[in-house]
Amino acid sequence: MTKQKSTVPDMSELTAFLNAQSGSISKRQLARAFKIKGDGRTILRHMLKDLQKNGLIERDHTSKNYRILMSGRLPEHCQVEITGQDSMGDLLGRPYQWTAQETPPQIIIVKNKINPPAGVGDIVQAHVKYISSRLYEGTVLKRLTHGNNQLVGMYENGRVLCVDRRITTPFVLTDVPRNIKNRDLILFDAPMIRSRQPVARFIQRIGSADEAFFATLTAIYMHKIPFLFEEQTLKQVENLKVPSLDSNRIDLTQIPFVTIDGEDARDFDDAVWAEQTDNGGFHIMIGIADVSWYVRSNTSLDRDAWTRGNSVYFPDRVIPMLPFELSNGVCSLKPHERRAALVCEIWIDKNGRKIKHRFVRCLIQSVRRLTYTEVQEALDNKQPIVSLEKEIKALHDVYLVLKKQRQKRGVMEIDVPEQEIHLNKAGEVVCIRPRQQTDSMRLIEELMILANVSAAETLEEKGLPTMYRVHDKPSVPKLALLNTFLKSIGLNTNHPLNEHSQAKDFNTILAKTDGTNKDFAINEFVLRTQSQAFYSSENIGHFGLSLERYAHFTSPIRRYADLMVHRALVSALKLGDGGLTEDDIASFDKTAQHISHTERQASSAEHDAQDRYTSSYLKNKVGKKLTGQISSVTPFGLFIRLKPFGADGFLPMRHLGSDFFDYDDEKQCLTGRSTGQTYTLGDTVHVILKECDPLTGSILLQPVRR
């Protein structure tokens, strides 16, 4: 009897089948689906290896057995953070540990199999089903942690309107306090019961939607930003003193350090100085506040700092990581005041290459508090800084050679301008404008990067645990999408981006469209292709900065990661008290995960406040014609970046007219079936500002009819 030859699919059939799966699949299931037997299994195994090598599939690490998952997909079983509730009462969630730069996919919880049911803030184990790249359905299997179900809303005639734009159904408020008024902002608890008229339980009043700075207040409570210090912490910082010189701390008060910051800066945690050496190179000192001397492990002060993870910056205030007595007191490098510092002393050659470096614990005394504006005027030869001309010139010369090294290294140069929101004393937005980037700012940035690299190198050399700042390279599927998009808009590259591409390869693409009508779209797409930077005890390098090793050292007043690096340096170099403890080392990975989370939490709060302030500013422009560019294309409509405000407004599909529009994820466009009208990422569009809701920060648009 002749043995029947096994039929094996070609690569396109195999990838099409894998794409159609809602989750992971085993090799045995694959073989059964295609009726593959005998030698065909060997061929299939080699095909899967090729797909995995090219980054198109990956192993589902959530499964005990070896299973295959399309790259970029969520695994069948994953951790989900419950974020809200839709108008039908269904819970909404997102992947708990999301490290991609792009917006995470939404997960609609269709089944809640636990008792009591999961609620907002809970972290759950869920079975998820793939619907599209932006949407999954989920079934809650197990609660991992109880969340804080407190929501923020505005009271209005017995009902509560949630400030979270994802929750559109009003809640009926029970046990309404007598003194509550319409438009009061409150905290409330809402049991997640599927209902068109859900009930809320009053917790406390936090303010009013008519008060000044309500946008900041809302963001603080909505994102659960800690803003009160423990009483024990405040007692701990009552009588802080600058330490004396000893065998571990040298005197550098004779060095004319200067601080260079923005006009509105209040805490000065870095001071700099430089001079040219005889061989044409430079001797540089970068002084950073010695926060580890004051913030010792396992104290109330340390626990408060760890909980916050970082300072949070709003247009009207800062929620600091450390109490005022530290951040604006003994740890602020104020001019003419002796301060404890860790100084990174660096020597570079005339080409900007680092020759050597060392870290010293010392006392310093800055001679001047300078602003970016003052320094820039000096660099532009408009207004010299009297008595510091030589030092400012040396710092500028250092920047110029470091800039050449940056360009040679190929640092990612994505142009996505940040917006500055300026308020008056009444909390009203006076203006919104792009944040300017000057050479005086870049000077400080390059010096900080140099010190951060030196810190990582020292700790790696000494074998001490290091809180690396890592940035992974883009995934192959994201690169494939970018290549497809570039081709769709007629931008052909000689060499498509792949897993071996470097940051400078992206710069080549960005340079090709700089100054053209496509540069906005390319910058947006390149940005969303990137991974999100985070903290880790494992070093994978920093792709965006093109660095093999990198750690945050220069801002211990406002980042716990930097404080950990300071402690590690103190221990590694035997610089006295305030080093790493055994508890610090044992919880290193937990701390890395925690401060990565608080950083994302702070960023979300800051952006939410900006959205509300911007919406409030634009409210008096409702009905007016505005111009913008399409910043994101979704199956539900378009997000438009409004000029010159930098805010994204939403233009829903229903406002595009009677035509039916097809969504193309690869080309990032909507195309009308009847009219052929297309809307593509980066297109300039004219819109009417239809609605602005400062409470939620949402902006609704409609197109200008021809």
Cis omega (within 30 of 0) on the bond before 652?
no
Q: Domain check: are 158 and 274 in the same one? A: no
Q: Domain check: are 561 and 516 in the same one? A: no
Residue 706 tokens, joined: 């021809």
Q: How many CB atoms lie within 10 A of CB 502?
A: 15
344-370 pLDDT per residue, tens: 999 999 999 999 999 999 999 999 999
DSSP code string of 255-273: S--EEEE-TT-----EEEE
410 conformational bin, left if phi > 0, alpha if psi -120 to 50, beta if neither = left
Domain end marker among 498, 530, 562: 530
Domain end marker among 572, 606, 640: 606
Q: Domain check: are 636 and 573 in the same one? A: no
Residue at 255 is within a domain: yes
Asked if residue 222 lies in contact with residue 152, where contact means CB atoms within 8 angstroms, the answer is yes
SS3 266: coil
Q: List the CATH number of the domain containing 643.
A: 2.40.50.140
Cα–Cα nearest to 215, from 598, 618, 597: 618
Domain end marker among 70, 86, 108: 70
What amino acid occupies position 23? G
Q: Domain check: are 484 and 556 in the same one? A: no
Q: List the CATH number of the domain containing 54.
A: 1.10.10
| Residue 2: pLDDT over 50 | no
Residue at 615 is within a domain: no
Asked if residue 498 lies in contact with residue 483, where contact means CB atoms within 8 angstroms, the answer is no
Q: List the CATH number of the domain containing 166.
A: 2.40.50
Residue at 613 is within a domain: no
Q: Domain check: are 566 and 423 in the same one? A: yes
Q: Domain check: are 126 and 207 in the same one? A: no
Q: Domain check: are 97 and 172 in the same one? A: no
Q: Domain check: are 159 and 122 in the same one? A: no
Residue at 412 is within a domain: yes
Q: Domain check: are 522 and 590 in the same one? A: no
613-622 pLDDT per residue, tens: 999 999 999 9
Residue at 217 is within a domain: no
Q: Domain check: are 36 and 129 in the same one? A: no
40-96 pLDDT per residue, tens: 787 777 777 766 655 556 665 555 555 565 556 777 788 888 887 765 667 888 888
Q: At what angle do helices 214-222 and 588-618 cross, to 10 degrees?
A: 150
Q: Domain check: are 194 and 60 in the same one? A: no
Residue at 274 is within a domain: yes
Q: Please give the model's pTM, rounded to 2 decimal places.
A: 0.84
Cα–Cα nearest to 339, from 351, 347, 331: 331
Q: Domain check: are 194 and 325 in the same one? A: no
554-596 pLDDT per residue, tens: 999 999 999 999 999 999 999 999 999 999 999 999 999 999 9
Q: How many CB atoms lie within 10 A of CB 68?
A: 20
Question: Range of 628's domain?
Answer: 622-703
- What does the pLDDT average to over 472-491? 85
How many structural domains comprise the chain?
A: 6
Residue at 99 is within a domain: yes
Cα–Cα nearest to 147, from 224, 44, 233: 224
Residue at 219 is within a domain: no
In this predicted structure, what is the pLDDT of residue 31? 80
Residues 656, 144: Cα–Cα separation, whole Å: 43
